[in-house]
Amino acid sequence: MNRAERLARLLRVLAAIISEPGLNPLELAEKAGVSERTLSRDLAQLRDLGYEVAYTSGYEVQEKLNLDGRARQKSRAHADDALLQAVAQAVEKAGLWRDTSPAGSVSPRRRPRRRAGAHPLVLMASGEDDADFIYAAGIGVESALYIRFAAGDDLIVASALEIDRVRKQSSAARKLSLSEAGYTEAGAFKSGALLAAKLLQERGLAAARVSPRLQAGYLEALREVGLEVEIDHALFEAERRHKSPEEARHIREAQQAAEAAMTEIARLLSGAEIRDGLLWTDGGPMTSEWLSARASLRLGEMGYACPDMIVAGSPENAMPHYRGEGQIRAGAPVIIDIFPLSRSSHHHGDLTRTVVVGEVPEEIARMHAAVLQALDAGIESISAGVPARDVHHTVCQVLVDRGYGTTSPGYEGPDGGPKMNHSTGHGVGLDVHEEPGVRGPNAEPLDAGDVITIEPGLYLMGLGGVRIEDTGMVTPSGFDDFTTITRSLNPKDYLD
């Protein structure tokens, strides 16, 4: 790639950041028309040119842009910088971006997603855990077609293998077998598209909206059969955020299952033998894998599953999403993060605790106390109408006040010490991570009925990490915490 082509790509990335700050990597890469790998290189190149493009690792990624390039004092190629400044000014002049945030705010509010038109909704299940399909049809199916022509006028088409279960469990008004719907086999993607087109054309319709989760093969096939297809990027976003009493009950029950699994792990850790700084049980090593398996067995007995749970020992648990492997160390933090999925309701819970077997190091005790205080402060700051970012900033401020840091702009804290490098929380429901995001760039207010996590943490490579997480519902006056289990560092306290 020559210099002109490279600069042209950088300009696209730069314009995408300016026009819509706060995009996550997937969204930014799509908006800029580059791959994720290319985007990573481009962001590094923009930083080398003097632009402060800051992002966090972990749950959420944030980008911000210093148009003046003041963050770095190193020299830059004048021609490259002039071009980048020119496009930034042109984009701002065109009205694609302007800073309307109050003085002192950290990042601008994201532009609301554009809603699709009133075309019929076409969903094709991408597996039994397809949250959009479950929300629309009331059932998880490995492979099925759902069409909603209007409120109360919807249908689901399933194979002979699934149609009896669909007829019993689905909330759709009409439930058809493939043969009843006039299915003609022509390959998976093509057949589904042809059937959707046929059912729409029977009503004189030639356009549809689809989920942003739709597999690319289905999207391509729908367009190939002549349908005008529009991706509804905001599909069910508002509806799924506001949890009904029944949905809240399902999540509360999932949280109770997570607590039962947490108690099982704590029971096993409490009975461990300490030898040579490591944990042993029944003469063998006590490993992350063994603890996860025992917790999974407990969840399975209750009708839940969590194949990717985290049981992570130190020092590797300084990486927040490290799943854990190998023998557990004594006198070091173990992060346990359990987010079970109900086999019947399809709703999740989300719970994290940190424990230490043996003597607790002084630094870990201080980190735990700071995280616990941040958790309480975050929860106390919650009520309907409070911007999500205010909750995040409350948590960050506590950590900074306790002598630690974060990767959120304005709350960096001292260099070299433990930091929080992820958002404060996220929505929970049919997906374990859904809207709203409780993070710095999100200026949208929390709503009554949002079910969210609050999960501050501190991490330092070479030492390890501490994270505590509760899940509950936003109410008009506060936070209904679904979580009842202790937050202690001592695993024996979980057995009371």
- How far apart (Å, rounded) are the C-alpha atoms in residues 159 and 482? 39
Domain spans of the chain, in order of start: 3-93, 121-233, 242-495
pLDDT of residue 25: 65
* Diameter of the chain measured on Cα atoms: 75
- Treating both helix axes as pointing N-terminal to C-terminal, what angle do 3-19 and 36-48 enclose, rounded to 10 degrees? 90
Q: In Å, what is the CA distance from 110 to each residue of 8, 11, 393?
A: 25, 21, 17
First to last CA, the chain: 64
Which residues of the chain are modeled with pLDDT < 70?
1-6, 18-27, 29-30, 35-37, 40-41, 44, 47-117, 184-189
pLDDT digits (tens, 9 = 90+) for 254-282: 999 999 999 999 999 999 999 999 999 99
Q: And the tokens for 33? A: 């028309």
pLDDT digits (tens, 9 = 90+) for 208-260: 999 998 989 889 999 999 999 999 999 999 999 999 999 999 999 999 999 99
The CATH number of 242-495 is 3.90.230.10
pLDDT of residue 190: 76
pLDDT of residue 56: 41
Q: And the tokens for 83? A: 């071009």
Q: And the tokens for 172? A: 């759709």
Alpha-carbon dihedral sign for residues 240, 245, 246, 249: positive
Q: Give me the sheet containing 333-338, strands edge to edge.
A: 310-312, 333-338, 351-356
Instruction: Determine the 3-state secondary structure of 75 from DSSP.
Output: coil
- How far apart (Å, rounded) are the C-alpha atoms in residues 112 and 184? 40
pLDDT of residue 61: 39
Residue type, 221: A
- Pick among 2.60.120.260, 3.30.565.10, 3.20.10.10, 3.40.350.10: CATH of 121-233: 3.40.350.10
* CATH top-level class of 3-93: mainly alpha
Number of residues written out for the chain: 496
Residue whose C-alpha is closest to residue 231's, from 30, 94, 432, 416: 30
- How far apart (Å, rounded) are the C-alpha atoms in residues 206 and 230? 11
Backbone angles phi, psi at 53, to 5 degrees: -105, 95
- How far apart (Å, rounded) are the C-alpha atoms in residues 143 and 147? 14
